[in-house]
């Protein structure tokens, strides 16, 4: 079956069983390998992408549910010119990743949080991020990274106003 998707702003068409999880379409059909497989059951968040700007677990989202809609992956959150998103830069500044495998999903969840809440409390961070497991235990730095990115985004917004 032919399914149309908009991925990171580009129109794509894939021939695939519509029940195929979006994750495997992104990785195997579209060759975007930054989105990771962790559990296959929406338990760990490694596969998090944005569907119309909202975070979803692509390992349990059938591709048919994303047909004709906007998907954003880790490869699509920076600017077209190659500038990192504030969350990505904060991840470098706070030296967040260790093995790095879960971090695409962590960053996608954090970006989605800050898109709707520019001044998250600790509870907001917990709520938005508790679906993302990190086995290297980078949680303290993820917290710091989100706080730093929030501060940067607030400054940017202030400068524009």
Partner 1 sequence: MGKWTRRAFIGTGVVAGGALVVGVAIRPGNRAGKVAGLIANENDTVVNVWVKIGSDNTVTAIIPHAEMGQGVHTSLAMMLADEMDADWESVRMLEAPAHEEYANYPLTRGYALGDVAIPRALIGTVDGAFLRIARSMDLQITGGSTSVRLTGQFGMRIAGAAAREVLLEAAAKQWQLPIAELTSSNSTITHSPSGQSATYAELADAASKLTPPSKPTLKTADRFRIMGTSRPRFDIPAKVDGSAKFGIDAELPNMKYAAVKASPVFGGSVREYDEASALAMPGVLKVVDLGSALAVIADGYWQAQQAINTIRIEFNGGDNAGREQSDIYQQFATNLDTANSDGGGTTDFKTGNAEKAITKAATILEVEYRVPYLAHAAMEPLNCTAWVHDDCCEIWTGSQNPLGFRAAVADALEMKDSRVTVNNHYLGGAFGRRSDPDYAVQAARIAATVSYPVKLIWSREEDTQQDHYRAAALSRFKGGLNDNGYPIAWINQFVDKHEPVEASHIPYKIDNQYIHYTDSKTHIPWGPWRSVDHTQHGFFTESFIDELAHSAGIDPYLYRRNLLEDSPRHRDILDLAASKARWGQPLPANHGRGIALQKSFNSIVAEVVEVSIIDGKLKIERVVCAVDAGIAINPDGLIAQMESGIIYGLTAALYGDITIRRGAVAQSNFHDYEILRIDESPPIETYIINSGASLGGAGEPGTPAVAPALANAIYAASGIRIRNLPVKNHDLGGNSAEALDIA
Q: Determine the interface stretch with partner 1 among 50-58, 93-101, 112-120, 148-156 (rule: CB under 8 A).
A: 93-101
Query: What minimum distance in Å lies between the beta carbon of 23 and partner 1?
Result: 8
Q: For residue 61, state whether it binds partner 1 (rule: CB under 8 A).
A: no
List of residues 6+ apart from 140 with CB closer than 8 A: none
| 55 three-class SS | strand
Which of 12, 18, 60, 101 binds partner 1 (CB under 8 A)? It is: 101
| 46 is an interface residue for partner 1 by CB under 8 A | yes
10 contacts partner 1 (rule: CB under 8 A): no
Neighbours of 55 (CB within 10 A): 22
The two structure tokens encoding residue 128:
């938005």
Give whichever of 79 and 158 is closer to partner 1, judged by the CB atom.
Answer: 79
Kindly tell me which of 95 and 157 has the beta carbon lying closer to partner 1: 95
The candidate with the shortest Cα–Cα distance to 2, out of 67, 59, 96, is 67
Strand partners of residue 12: 5
| Residue 103: CB minimum distance to partner 1, A | 5
Ramachandran bin of 139, using left for φ above 0, alpha for ψ from -120 to 50, beta for the remaining angles? alpha
Binding mask 107-146 for partner 1 (x = CB under 8 A): x-----------------xxx-xxxxxxxxxxxxxxx---
144: exposed, middle or buried (C-beta count within 10 Å: 0-12, 13-18, 19+)? Answer: middle
Residues of the shown chain interacting with partner 1 in the complex, contacts defined by CB under 8 A: 17, 20-21, 24, 28, 31-41, 43-44, 46, 73-75, 78, 84, 88, 91-92, 95-104, 107, 125-127, 129-143
């Amino acid at each position: 079956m032919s399914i149309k998707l908009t991925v990171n702003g580009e129109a794509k068409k894939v021939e695939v069983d519509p029940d195929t999880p979006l994750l495997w379409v992104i990785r195997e059909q579209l060759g975007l390998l930054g989105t990771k497989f962790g559990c296959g059951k929406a338990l760990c968040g490694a596969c998090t992408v944005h569907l119309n700007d909202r975070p979803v677990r692509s390992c349990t989202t059938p591709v048919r549910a994303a047909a004709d809609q906007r998907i954003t992956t880790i490869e699509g959150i920076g600017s077209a010119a190659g500038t990192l998103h504030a969350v990505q830069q904060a991840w470098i500044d706070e030296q967040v990743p260790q093995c790095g495998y879960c971090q695409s999903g962590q960053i996608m969840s954090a970006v989605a949080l800050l898109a709707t809440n520019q001044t998250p409390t600790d509870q907001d961070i917990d709520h938005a991020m508790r679906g993302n497991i990190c086995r290297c235990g980078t949680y303290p730095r993820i917290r710091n990274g989100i706080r730093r990115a929030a501060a940067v985004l607030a400054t940017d917004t202030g400068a524009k106003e």
